Amino acid sequence: MGRTESGLPLEAVYGPDALAGWDPAAQLGSPGQYPFTRGVYPTMYTGRPWTMRQYAGFGTAQESNERYRQLLAAGTTGLSVAFDLPTQMGYDSDHPLAHGEVGKVGVAIDSIEDMRVLFEGIPLDQVSTSMTINAPAALLLLLYQLVAEEQGVAATQLNGTIQNDVLKEYIARGTYIYPPAQSIRLITDIFTYCRAEIPKWNTISISGYHMAEAGATPVQEIAFTLADGIAYVQAAVDAGQDVDEFAPRLAFFFVSRTTILEEVAKFRAARRLWARIMRDRFGAKDPKSWMLRFHTQTAGVQLTAQQPEVNLVRVAVQGLAAVLGGTQSLHTNSFDEAIALPTAKAARLALRTQQVLAYETDVCGTVDPFAGSYVIESLTDEIEQAATALIDRIDQMGGAVAAIEEGFQKAEIERSAYEVTRQIDGGERTVVGVNAFTTDEHEHYEPLRVDPAIEAEQVARLQALRAARDSTEVKRLLEEIRQAARGDDNLLYPMRDALRARATIGEVCDALRDAWGQYQPVDAF
């Protein structure tokens, strides 16, 4: 008997006994119906394939705009924006802490002028855009709205997603700014704002991906992600919002590993769990509130710098697992990402991988092709049960925020990551090209490098912006943000006014830092 990534037993043979007492009507239902085990839509990919997104962004807004145009020309059906670390942390490119990081792991965005360049020539009423941004998510959403406004596109026409999931930052990534309570207040303000102003926008993408990349097992990934989702829903309800007014716009973000069977079961279990949580725990009445709609990215942590072309195979397998699991959109990693930022050729190959899955295989021909499989249904049940037990444990601790403050999720993930590393180092887990099937050949690879001169260019743009704007007006508007933060008014309206007046992201984040302070982590050990 083997074990899954989550440590669940994996039998050599499954038969009818594996599903003894199993009720197909209760556990499966029909596609597009509660509990959505078989998919959130009745026809799934038989109507049209998933949205093909390619996560991209580097250097300046101009360079990233060129990459987006290339991807759109190659057939991608949705944009996905990567921001550099200073932007993610709410610092302008000329801040001392930004030095050496400008444009390195994503695009540098400091103001409306950068956002305008980023989407120049891209009609925002015709493209769906996902933005991987968390603590400053409201600011990037508002800049997107303002740029659309300049294009003549109404906010009601905009379609996309902001990640906006700060709780997982305290667990796995670290790009938080404010304390948890204030961060959640900002998130619920976004829910309210989007319902009134940008109704088609997905207001949050509750993310297990980064926890998985840090080492979480599939069970931990969905348990900790859904526990965060419960915290966000509860906060919005406590703020007086009706659950059916905001829940249909919630979205999720998961990883897809090479372990196809467990990944397919994981996605199916997550849908079923969330449907029951929303219906039974929160009393949601709208079936759209019960749906777990999610984006998937293939597992970057499983890519290797050794024999990087082998990553093409890994990504294809991971993408297949996501599709068989019923994802709504997909990003396939480029084979060279373990080495550097993806080259244009590598990014195009990653997109072609999705296109082969969609148009050259038969996976779009039927909904939930593994339904009724002894092994898949058994694993789906086991993952659901194990994840439920973890969620119950978090509930007993007082919820996701209380568990984060105790360091629970972080410690659990670190233990799992250590175990995987131990298995690889000990040869118990095979990684092709790393601890098995290695080669002495050294293959030359020319990575994409970001020109360090862009930092000086970006700083010059900032200086020119500050010299040209009405500084007195900007100061006044920043003070309005501080006052709103100290009170209970919706923050997005004064932030929108400040950004329109060409306040920078760093300045707005500093105004909130003045009012709220910054989060100081407590190590669990």
SS (H, E, C) 111-136: CHHHHHHHCCCCCCCCCCEEEECCCC
**Tokens found for residue 228:** 């965060």
Amino acid letter, 377: E
**For 373, left (φ over 0), alpha (ψ -120 to 50), or beta?**
beta
pLDDT per residue as tens, the chain (525 positions): 689 999 999 999 999 988 888 888 888 889 999 999 999 999 999 999 999 988 888 889 999 999 999 999 999 888 999 999 999 999 999 999 999 999 998 999 999 999 999 999 999 999 999 999 999 999 999 999 999 999 999 999 999 999 999 999 999 989 999 999 999 999 999 999 999 999 999 999 999 999 999 999 999 999 999 999 999 999 999 999 999 999 999 999 999 999 999 999 999 999 999 999 999 999 999 999 999 999 999 999 999 999 999 999 999 999 999 999 999 999 999 999 999 888 889 999 999 999 999 999 999 999 999 999 999 999 999 999 999 999 999 999 999 999 999 999 999 999 999 999 999 999 999 999 999 999 987 767 777 777 888 899 999 999 999 999 999 999 999 999 999 999 999 999 999 999 999 999 999 999 999 999 999 886 644
Match 């990504």 to its residue by tokens: 315
Nearest to 506 by CA among 108, 203, 145, 24: 108
Stated pTM of the model? 0.93
pLDDT, one tens digit per residue, over 29-71 is 899 999 999 999 999 999 999 999 888 888 899 999 999 999 9
Q: How far apart are CA 154 and CA 124, in angstroms?
A: 10
Q: Is 140 exposed, middle or buried (0-12, 13-18, 19+ CB in 10 A)?
A: buried
Q: Please list, in sequence order, all residues whose beta carbon lies within 8 angstroms of the beta carbon of residue 198, skipping any fewer than 6 positions away.
A: 141, 145, 155, 156, 158
For residue 257, the number of C-alpha atoms closer than 13 Å in the C-beta half-sphere is: 25
Q: How far apart are CA 258 and CA 254, in angstroms?
A: 13
For residue 48, the number of C-alpha atoms closer than 13 Å in the C-beta half-sphere is: 6
Q: How far apart are CA 225 and CA 217, in angstroms?
A: 12
Q: Is 426 exposed, middle or buried (0-12, 13-18, 19+ CB in 10 A)?
A: exposed
Architecture of the domain delimited by 2-18+45-366+376-426: Alpha-Beta Barrel (3.20)
Q: Please list, in sequence order, all residues whose beta carbon lies within 8 angstroms of the beta carbon of residue 111, skipping any fewer than 6 positions away.
A: 143, 462, 465, 499, 502, 503, 504, 505
Q: Where in the chain are the domains?
A: 2-18+45-366+376-426
- CB-based contact 328:293 (threshold 8 Å): yes
Q: List, edge to edge, every strand of the sheet that includes 78-82.
A: 160-162, 129-132, 78-82, 51-56, 329-331, 294-298, 250-256, 204-207
